[in-house]
Structure 1
Amino acid sequence: MAVSMVPQCAVAKSDPAWLTQAIDIHWGRARERAGATQDSWTVALAPNGVGPSADAHNFVEAQARVHALLADIRAGKKPAKPIVVHVATGTYTLSKPLLFGPDDGGDAKFPVSYVADDPGHVTISGGVALAASGMAGRRMTFDLPASLTVDWSVPQQLFVNGQRAVLARQPNEGATWLVQPGSKDKGTVIPDAKALQWLQGLSADDRARAELFLYQSWTSSLHHFTVNGNAVQLAVPAKWAPLAFGNSQRFFVENVTAALDAPGEWIGTGRQVTYIPSGDQAGSPAAQIPVLPRLIQIKGTATNPVGYLSFTGMQFLYTASTPNAGNFVDLQGASAIGAAIEADFAHDIAFRNCLIAHVGGYGIWMRASVSDSLIDDNVVYDTGAGAVRLSIGGQPGSDALITHNITVTNNVLAETGKIFPGGPAIFVGWSNDNRLENNLVANTTNDGVSIGGKWPVGGPVSARNHINRNIFFNIGQGMLSDIAAIYTLSGMTGTEINENFIREARSYTKYGGWFGAGAAGIYLDEGTSGVTARNNVVVNTDSGGFHINYGRDNVAEGNVLAGGEQAEVTLLHDRGGKAMDFRRNTLFPISSKPFQGALTNATSSFEGNAVAGAGSAGQDVGTCGRGCAKQNAQLSVGPGLLDVHVSGAGTGQQTIDRVLANAGPHGDMAALRDVVITERRPKLSPPNPAPNP
């Protein structure tokens, strides 16, 4: 493990200013808290053992010191009190992930903590620094160190001056090609004539390394391929046949030297990386290539879990993301992708006041049989997939494997899905009794929160989860479809979704049908049952504030739903039973029909709702009937995140005021609520050529 003295992580210049401010506030707050002292056993970990009181040169040596203290405490040779490892300023570059097993954890009376002496200036890195070696025209080169070998036949990542570079692609970032009709084979894609001509012109070396990135509705896949006549044959078939979701399916090709032509792009060949600087980069370039798949692995066993272990005030940067031999097919949620920090068979684990960034998968993942743990007051951004993940993928083999009682609170989770856009910011699988509260979730490519994941659906999956008082902003950004700020799947008994503020949920709108405008505020997908959604405020979505596919015994009460491009309330299918009670909600619809789908007196009940807005008098409230009263009040939305107001006589303002006062991170982070939306971003998917006929 190499150690060097470097400043804290710099936010990429292309990141929004509010994120820069969030990190500044985050570290200032962490430093204020770092002054607290307690009676404890201490271990001093310093770069290369620098300092008169250094006990350890690296984390492995620090762990050995901790083991000795724990052994003495358990043997009664030392008093039982907390053990604190003070980690001195520096970058600790790992040669392999740090492993924390049962012997590394403490007890309720003597927990083990790794604490940065100066929060924000202790970095755990899985990257390798590259030396700048030259400049030819507008192309810059970096040399790999002699100790590093990279497989360029699969996609890699590069960061220059803290900014994620774009792996050379065609068309360039912001544009795509469209799949043409003519194939129903999951392994065959028909490109248009221009794309085909470009692909046929690739050199043999480029053909061997090229990757085709294929968008599906709510996910994507990555394929090696060959060109055969007018068709592209995928090395591994996609999950769905071409154009399965509509007539405008996108793709591009990356990881080829022929595509290196735009500022911010890069490509690796042999022992060198070539990069085209972007216009806002100045000074000496600093490049990093991630090499480790994860940074921290906390791993106990069913009979001997890891307990009472925490990390505070550190930065975790740079992890690799290498899909299986360059072929990756995602069904949902980037569920096969790992995280920078992973835990299995553990309890009372905590990550506080940390930053996780520039990673190739998820940020942090509490996997199998993790309980009573805390993810609090962190910033997680620039992730290849999502930010936070709870539970293993699919159905656990036994109840003992179910992760539960995890609190995710006061975090800023942003800029997710950079490689695997199907990854939600927070992904909760088969997991119970978790609290997701007072987080700020922004600039995602998929759901803000996704809970569930049982296919085929049926029966309870996740129960008694609490999604309360969060802020969701810029969800989806037009990248994918069939998404939501808050998404659930299958049985959810006892789950509550309360007092969240959702502003801007946008999808890729060119598939046609539901998939052509599939971004809702709250989306209870297939079989969702037993959910209560109260006093949420949802503003500006593609497909409305409240959407149910089918399910039973759900309640929507006291919500404010406004600005949906389609109906604010939809029940897509009737599979029998009562899907929802809809009461005392206030709607400010754009659509002339604020209710749509299979809403009938048999599937739904309506009571005390208000339909307001300038055109409310002419709107068709459909089956809501006497359960809806029309009002003349109007809702106005300004540029600031909190600029949402009701004018005129009507309902909804009290709910809006309460939600805006309490949603999102608390304390100093609350200042961000005044900043975020002033830099509203356009959708990530710009206008494409006309869809295929």
Structure 2
Amino acid sequence: MFKRLESDRTPARGLPSGGWPSLARFTCLVLLLAVAALDAWAAAPGATFYVSTEGSDAWTGRLPAPNRDHTDGPFASVSRARDAIRALKAGPGPSGPLTVQIRGGQYFLERPLSFGVEDSGTAQGPVSYEAYRGEHPEFIGGRRLVPPASSPGAPVVFSLPETGAGPWAFRSLFVDGRREVRARYPNVEAADPRKAFLYVKPAPDQLSFGVSVGGIHHPGDWLEYRVQVPADGDYLLWLHYGALNAPYGVTAMDGRTWVQVDGQRTFPLGDLADTGGWSPARWAKAARIRLSAGTHLLRWQNQKGGGLVLDALVLCDDAAWMPQGTMTAAPEKGHRVVLPARAFARSHGRQITVNGAGSGPRNAIWCARDEVHPAWLEAPDAEVHVFQSGDSRAFSEILSIRGYDPAEGRLLLGGPEAHSALNPGDRYYIENVKEELDAPGEWFLDARARSLTYLPRSSFSARSEVIVPMTTRLIQVEGGRSAETPVHHLRFSGLTFRDTDWVRGGASAGYGMGDDGAILFANAEACAVEDCRFLNLGAYAVCLDQGRRNTVRGCDVAHAGGGGVLIRGGRDNQITDNHLHHLGEAYQHVGGIVLEGVGASGNDVSHNAIHDTSRYGISLKEPGEKNVIAFNRIQNTNLETYDSGGIEVTQHDRAFRSGSAIRNNLVADTIGFSSIFGEPIYMSWGIYLDSFASGYEVSGNVVCRTWNGGVMLQGGKENRVTNNVFVDGQVSQGTIANYQGQSSGLKVNANILAFSSPEAVAFDTGTLGPGVLQMDRNLYFPPGGVPPVFTSPGAERFSEWQGLGRDAASLVADPRFRMAKGDDYALRPGSPAFRLGFKALPLDQVGPRTRACTCSIRPAGPAFWGTPRPSLKRLAKNTRD
């Protein structure tokens, strides 16, 4: 170029044709060329800056690598590249895309990178921060510690430097890419995490009312109790119960149930008048039983049918004693034996449920004296993590220790999260006590001494990566206060974000879904996170707070303390093609993808793979309208929480109609695990329309291996459930509750319901009056090919169910599943379901299209409930050629 200009004989425009020395003329030409080059660069369609761990913020950032003399090259930080783009945009600026290419390497952040309205791009010229081609830059939310010299297997003690921002307070530690465990008791059990807990003991003489046993209304249902009788005598048997049988012609349950003693003598039960409701509200003096001192086996049994909900049974040999409400003082003379109804040793019944909040205190639990370690009481920051069975089983509480009463064995607790009843049997563990540092992988932070003690795993070495997180957030994008001033057209692509911390509050306290992410967008429009990887996070990966038309595509999220993507009031966003797994490692009340708030409308959640979560796969909390949940694969959800769903909707507005669709998803292994009084319990549905969720289309889904069934319709209106496959609900295949009598216009048509448990039913329903349900053209495939059974008032047999105008054209037949692999419930040609109007499902389109899940997923259902029953093999055998 210089040679061409130098040989050009034509004077440059604006220069004299002669009179200047040739050197001066040449210098002027060079300067003009430089200015012209800069102008041309600025006016180009786009511009690119580079960032590298080998760069310098004093350089121009326009070279991908340092030049030969190290006088120019890439920037060292993204913040410097951001500022360079701001400066460029402040001038004439390029009209095309502005790109920051980030070279491979590790970029440590102790506070989030911030972007505002001034960092926006345009539709024609978006601003992108992306990985340099073929390289993998990582943004790490903390500091790396260098392991000190130590003996193999001995505790490694790190001396922490001053932070310059107060004491160290991290709740997470990452070693060689693994989230390690704060010193705790009992230790984590890798083989079965359910065993890693202590269980609250009953208080002395605590009766523990409030947890009742229901679903025992079938002839032949029974509950069996072992009871220690203190002395020979005639004992009155008192029952605390509720009953609502009058609408079905049974005004009292007298003589319809009995108690059998030691498999021999039977005593019919009386004084069981209808109470007008199912909540236990009345004491019945049901029978007089002669008992000898010693251990006896008492079996309560339903002989003739009709409903009872039992709360407690009391035996007392003082004829003058009477219980009063739930306060049952000991008799002045004689003996009293209390049997909480939920304390049965064995049971039989296809619909038995244990429900209720209990009546324990909110600020104390009782422990066996040998369970309380003195170090707990001395540790200044010890935490008690309680999975309470009281007000909810959706989250755990983190409480502090306020003291211990050794006379009663009562551990006194407190803190801002102490707002749920704590009951005998609730599972809990103690964390952050140095004396409990006894298992490889555990650690303890002494913030006052600035000392971190880590008990290494066998793989630990001087080269191990040890990360202490310093921030909960890595990228913060904030628009203006007005919805009209969003950040827009800002894009992050191909980057890895990892190792952030979590804090108390948010989703750890009550029903909050959280409010933070490794990337937080507040009032953003047309922004994107694409092909990024998120690992070992404290909260969600991406939080979209308000805003619209944003995209999260092709990302992988693993081992997050929260969930995957949280949309808070945002509309018209697209969350697609992502792989989200192992979520809820800090907070339990989270989801793989969550849409929250009435402003969350028009969102597209599709083609994602979500698995292994503490709670939801996808959750819609009081959402807006016209959301689409489609072609997602969801498996192994609700592994730590109860009363939940793989895909869940909560809607309290009784008048709102969503117009949203849940279609063509695969939902497998929805567990719903919790415990009541030390016993495991389960409650979950694959697709759960909770409260008054209305106006939903549920179609084309495959739901398999759930506890309570494939679908729950709680109290909503005008929901349509069509063309779905529901397989192997352990209790039922679906529930239609008609909660508070609010349901109407429900349609359940052309579905397949195939199940293997001989104790499972087709549908469990509340009272269904006129106009509640239209149901027909369904195909049922229960074990043995016999007609299905329902648990519906007045209609348990299939003939009774049909006699009420339901399922008149439905069939009981083998649907002829293809079962080529895994959960392939496609139908073979000739399936009788096609004659009922069932349409083939596009199962090959379920899940991510580019970010495919390659994890080896072990189905959680059999792991929680036991090995597959022989009848499961029947299902596979009968449907294969």
TM-score, scaled relative to structure 2: 0.65
Letter in 2 for 1:666: R
Structure 1 pair 523–599 and aligned structure 2 pair: CA distance change class (3 A): farther
The separation in 2 between residues aligned to 1:65 and 1:374, in whole angstroms, is 26
* Structure 1 counterpart of 2:845, from 657, 662, 671: 662
Residue 72 of structure 2 corresponds to residue 61 of structure 1 = no
The separation in 1 between residues aligned to 2:458 and 2:826, in whole angstroms, is 40
* Structure 1 counterpart of 2:531, from 342, 350, 353: 353
* Structure 2 counterpart of 1:241, from 418, 421, 426: 421
Equivalent residue of 2:695, what SS? strand
The separation in 2 between residues aligned to 1:328 and 1:136, in whole angstroms, is 40
- The answer for the alignment partner of 2:556 in structure 1 is 379
Q: How many residues in Structure 1 have an aligned counterpart in Structure 2?
A: 613
The separation in 2 between residues aligned to 1:45 and 1:598, in whole angstroms, is 62
Letter in 1 for 2:434: T
* Structure 2 counterpart of 1:276, from 455, 459, 463: 455
Structure 1 stretches lacking a partner, 5+ long: 1-37, 392-401, 454-460, 688-693
Structure 1 pair 499–144 and aligned structure 2 pair: CA distance change class (3 A): farther
For residues 494-533 of structure 1, the aligned pairs below 5 Å read: 494-508=659-673, 510-511=675-676, 516-533=681-698
Structure 1 pair 504–137 and aligned structure 2 pair: CA distance change class (3 A): same
Residue 616 of structure 2 corresponds to residue 467 of structure 1 = no
For residues 285-434 of structure 1, the aligned pairs below 5 Å read: 285-301=464-480, 302=482, 303-323=484-504, 330-332=509-511, 334-367=512-545, 369-391=546-568, 402-430=569-597, 431-434=600-603
8 A Cα contact 1:351 1:376, kept in partner: yes
Letter in 1 for 2:421: A
Residue 281 of structure 2 corresponds to residue 105 of structure 1 = no
- The answer for the alignment partner of 2:784 in structure 1 is 615
- The answer for the alignment partner of 1:20 in structure 2 is none
Instruction: Tell me how far 1:371 sits from its aligned partner.
Output: 0.6
The separation in 2 between residues aligned to 1:231 and 1:296, in whole angstroms, is 45
Structure 1 pair 251–652 and aligned structure 2 pair: CA distance change class (3 A): farther
* Structure 1 counterpart of 2:814, from 603, 608, 632: 632
- The answer for the alignment partner of 1:575 in structure 2 is 741
Equivalent residue of 2:148, what SS? strand
Structure 1 pair 292–379 and aligned structure 2 pair: CA distance change class (3 A): same
Structure 1 pair 488–199 and aligned structure 2 pair: CA distance change class (3 A): same
8 A Cα contact 1:186 1:238, kept in partner: no
8 A Cα contact 1:528 1:551, kept in partner: yes
Structure 1 pair 683–359 and aligned structure 2 pair: CA distance change class (3 A): farther
8 A Cα contact 2:715 2:743, kept in partner: no
- The answer for the alignment partner of 2:234 in structure 1 is none
8 A Cα contact 1:179 1:189, kept in partner: no
* Structure 2 counterpart of 1:484, from 611, 621, 645: 645
- The answer for the alignment partner of 1:117 in structure 2 is 132
1:292-326: CA deviations, max 9, x gaps?
Answer: 121111001114221110001000112111215xx
The separation in 2 between residues aligned to 1:565 and 1:686, in whole angstroms, is 9
- The answer for the alignment partner of 2:50 in structure 1 is 44
Letter in 2 for 1:201: P
Instruction: Tell me how far 1:80 sits from its aligned partner.
Output: 1.1
- The answer for the alignment partner of 2:315 in structure 1 is none
- The answer for the alignment partner of 1:168 in structure 2 is 183
8 A Cα contact 1:644 1:656, kept in partner: no
CA RMSD, 1 decimal: 3.0
1:52-109: CA deviations, max 9, x gaps?
Answer: 363522122111111122223xxxx344111111112221112321000011111112
8 A Cα contact 2:121 2:489, kept in partner: yes
The separation in 2 between residues aligned to 1:568 and 1:685, in whole angstroms, is 18
The separation in 2 between residues aligned to 1:565 and 1:151, in whole angstroms, is 53
- The answer for the alignment partner of 1:450 in structure 2 is 619
Residue 705 of structure 2 corresponds to residue 540 of structure 1 = yes
The separation in 2 between residues aligned to 1:278 and 1:652, in whole angstroms, is 57
Structure 1 pair 232–136 and aligned structure 2 pair: CA distance change class (3 A): farther
- The answer for the alignment partner of 1:222 in structure 2 is 398
8 A Cα contact 1:355 1:378, kept in partner: yes
The separation in 2 between residues aligned to 1:684 and 1:222, in whole angstroms, is 28
Letter in 2 for 1:165: E
Residue 773 of structure 2 corresponds to residue 604 of structure 1 = yes
Deviating more after overlay: 436-445 vs 511-520:
511-520
The separation in 2 between residues aligned to 1:330 and 1:191, in whole angstroms, is 22
Equivalent residue of 1:486, what SS? strand
Equivalent residue of 2:106, what SS? strand
8 A Cα contact 2:362 2:420, kept in partner: no
8 A Cα contact 1:330 1:422, kept in partner: no
The separation in 2 between residues aligned to 1:501 and 1:335, in whole angstroms, is 24
1:366-389: CA deviations, max 9, x gaps?
Answer: 01x311110000001111111110
- The answer for the alignment partner of 2:753 in structure 1 is 587
Larger Rg: 2
8 A Cα contact 2:575 2:605, kept in partner: yes
The separation in 2 between residues aligned to 1:440 and 1:535, in whole angstroms, is 17
Deviating more after overlay: 149-158 vs 546-555:
149-158
Letter in 1 for 2:560: T
The separation in 1 between residues aligned to 2:507 and 2:490, in whole angstroms, is 34
The separation in 2 between residues aligned to 1:315 and 1:139, in whole angstroms, is 33
* Structure 2 counterpart of 1:126, from 130, 138, 141: 141
* Structure 1 counterpart of 2:720, from 529, 540, 555: 555
For residues 668-687 of structure 1, the aligned pairs below 5 Å read: 669-670=851-852, 672=853, 676-677=856-857, 679-680=858-859
8 A Cα contact 2:107 2:140, kept in partner: yes
Equivalent residue of 2:428, what SS? strand
Letter in 2 for 1:379: D
Instruction: Tell me how far 1:570 sits from its aligned partner.
Output: 0.4
The separation in 2 between residues aligned to 1:420 and 1:577, in whole angstroms, is 33
Letter in 1 for 2:643: D
- The answer for the alignment partner of 2:276 in structure 1 is none
Deviating more after overlay: 555-564 vs 52-61:
52-61
The separation in 2 between residues aligned to 1:405 and 1:342, in whole angstroms, is 17
1:9-30: CA deviations, max 9, x gaps?
Answer: xxxxxxxxxxxxxxxxxxxxxx
Equivalent residue of 1:451, what SS? strand
For residues 177-196 of structure 1, the aligned pairs below 5 Å read: 177-182=198-203, 184=359, 186-193=361-368, 196=369
Structure 1 pair 78–261 and aligned structure 2 pair: CA distance change class (3 A): closer
8 A Cα contact 1:413 1:440, kept in partner: yes
Structure 2 stretches lacking a partner, 5+ long: 1-43, 57-64, 207-358, 791-795, 867-881
Letter in 2 for 1:363: A
The separation in 1 between residues aligned to 2:467 and 2:688, in whole angstroms, is 39
Instruction: Tell me how far 1:542 sits from its aligned partner.
Output: 1.2
8 A Cα contact 1:557 1:585, kept in partner: yes
Deviating more after overlay: 340-349 vs 620-629:
620-629
Structure 1 pair 403–219 and aligned structure 2 pair: CA distance change class (3 A): same
- The answer for the alignment partner of 2:374 in structure 1 is 201
Letter in 2 for 1:64: D
Structure 1 pair 655–83 and aligned structure 2 pair: CA distance change class (3 A): farther
Instruction: Tell me how far 1:153 sits from its aligned partner.
Output: 9.2
The separation in 2 between residues aligned to 1:176 and 1:450, in whole angstroms, is 28
For residues 6-17 of structure 1, the aligned pairs below 5 Å read: none
The separation in 1 between residues aligned to 2:571 and 2:679, in whole angstroms, is 34
8 A Cα contact 2:147 2:158, kept in partner: yes
The separation in 1 between residues aligned to 2:813 and 2:678, in whole angstroms, is 30
Letter in 1 for 2:102: V
Instruction: Tell me how far 1:509 sits from its aligned partner.
Output: 5.1
Letter in 2 for 1:366: L
The separation in 2 between residues aligned to 1:418 and 1:97, in whole angstroms, is 22
Identity %: 23
